Amino acid sequence: MLNRLIPRPLRIAIALVVLFFVFGATAIERRRIESTVIEPSGQPGPGRVDAVRLKRDLEALASPAFEGRLPGSPGSHRAQQLILGRFRELGLKPVNGAYEQKFSFTHHSIKGAVTPGRHYTNEFPDATNLMGLLEGSVDPRRFILVSAHYDHLGVRDGVLYPGADDNASGVAAMLGAAAYFSQHPPRHSIVFVAFDAEEMGLRGAHYFVEHAPIDLRSIIVNVNLDMVGRGDRNELYVAGTAQTPALREPVAAAAHGRSLRLLFGHDRPTYLSGRVESWVQSSDHGAFHDRGVPFLYFGVEDHPDVHRPTDTADRIPQGFFVEAANLVVDVIDLLDRQS
């Protein structure tokens, strides 16, 4: 019936437009991203983070003792104690009087609806965001917010999902940045936030912006870290400069002299990027973007171990991971000095 209603030439034209979108726009976007690359130098750049502690934090969070860090689980509580212990050790202060931001939510699982033995509806009454503050020495009422989610998938059918790259890597890098700036006081205040329940729809980040302990208008930028360890191709991506072009220059300046490839992308709408996925809503920075807060999202593209039991600490290339964490510190430092 549809073929009779739409003339054949028009059907051909529509098919060509679809083919261009699927293949042409995708190819153009890939070439555009490649044109943005900051090529690596021969040697690692200056060390900002403690590489030994970085590895130790990653391995601890991804270990069986933390049970995959499902919100509300004993493993999640152990992760909270590790992160809060590091916040206090580094001299981070409570944010608006608290290190913890408690919340609850109901999660509806589409997979659970069709999988025998699994629940469609799950209640999570004990989720927790963790927050620590370093006060600025010059302009303490303006903030850089550095975030990483610490939750993962937990244990399913007796199988551990350790979430080493997703996202023990981001939390360890965030803690490395907190350690650096605790010894090199920033001009602006920096709030470090470990979000819970990112894997269930950015729940922790949305709760944070809806019950913000600081004025969202005072946040200069959200620097979000999610999967910054698995540099199998020595490539790290940064998203967010399409939305805020002024952020590109400090990121590029920080990337020069580092031994990894940095690419700008995964932040343009589908009608421009084809099948190149937009990451604008793929992690916690999406909640801040919705409220008009500029963001930079650092991460790698998906690899075969994402959301699998094989996302283990031993698969993280240490050299790349350290360089990625150091790059993030350099970016934050430049943003702090230039804002």
Look up residue 309 and give its two tokens. 């039991």
Per-residue pLDDT for 19 more than 70? no
% of the chain beyond a pLDDT of 90: 84
| 263-275 per-position pLDDT tens digit | 999 999 988 898 8
Confidence band for 43, pLDDT divided at 50, 70 and 90: confident
Per-residue pLDDT for 18 more than 50? yes
Q: Among 22-26, 123-127, 173-177, 202-206, which stretch is predicted with the lowest mean pLDDT?
A: 22-26
128 to each of 30, 160, 266, how far by Cα in Å? 38, 21, 29
What is 37-338's CATH number? 3.40.630.10
Give domain limits for the chain: 1-35, 37-338
State how beta strands 219-225 and 188-195 pair: unpaired
> What span, in angstroms and rounded, lies between the C-alpha atoms of 188 and 338?
10
202 to each of 155, 245, 283, how far by Cα in Å? 20, 25, 7
Confidence band for 1, pLDDT divided at 50, 70 and 90: very low
8 Å CB contact between 187 and 333: no
- Please report the pLDDT score of residue 227 as a whole number: 98
- Please report the pLDDT score of residue 22 as a whole number: 63
> What span, in angstroms and rounded, lies between the C-alpha atoms of 75 and 210?
27
Per-residue pLDDT for 72 more than 90? yes
Per-residue pLDDT for 112 more than 60? no
Phi-psi region of 33 (alpha: psi -120 to 50; beta: other; left: phi over 0): alpha
Give the burial class of 15: count Cβ atoms within 10 A of its Cβ; 0-12 exposed, 13-18 middle, 19 or more buried: exposed
Cα within 13 Å of Cα(338), Cβ side: 15
Per-residue pLDDT for 75 more than 70? yes
- Please report the pLDDT score of residue 37 as a whole number: 96
End-to-end CA distance of the chain: 60
For residue 331, the tally of other CB atoms under 10 A from its CB is 25
Look up residue 55 and give its two tokens. 């590895």
| 303-328 per-position pLDDT tens digit | 999 999 999 999 999 999 999 999 99
Measure CA 205 to chain center: 11
- Please report the pLDDT score of residue 23 as a whole number: 64
**Residue position matching structure tokens 């990337």:** 255
> What span, in angstroms and rounded, lies between the C-alpha atoms of 76 and 82?
10
Per-residue pLDDT for 97 more than 90? yes
- Please report the pLDDT score of residue 2 as a whole number: 44
> Which has the closest alpha carbon to 103: 253, 240, 205?
205
> What span, in angstroms and rounded, lies between the C-alpha atoms of 84 and 194?
10
For residues 54-58, give the mean pLDDT: 98
Averaged pLDDT of the chain: 93
- Please report the pLDDT score of residue 24 as a whole number: 79
Query: pTM higher than 0.85, yes or no?
Result: yes
Confidence band for 109, pLDDT divided at 50, 70 and 90: confident
Please tell me whether residue 220 adopts helix, strand or coil conformation: strand
8 Å CB contact between 30 and 36: no
User: What are the residues whose beta carbons fall under 8 Å from the beta carbon of 219, sequence distance 6 or more?
Assistant: 142, 143, 144, 145, 288, 293
- Please report the pLDDT score of residue 108 as a whole number: 85
- Show the 3-state SS of 57-121: HHHHHCCHHHHHHCCCCHHHHHHHHHHHHHHHHCCCECECCECEEEEEEEEECHHHHHCCCCCCE
Per-residue pLDDT for 80 more than 60? yes
**Residue position matching structure tokens 């200069």:** 220
> What span, in angstroms and rounded, lies between the C-alpha atoms of 79 and 255?
31
Residue of 322 and 5 predicted with greater confidence: 322
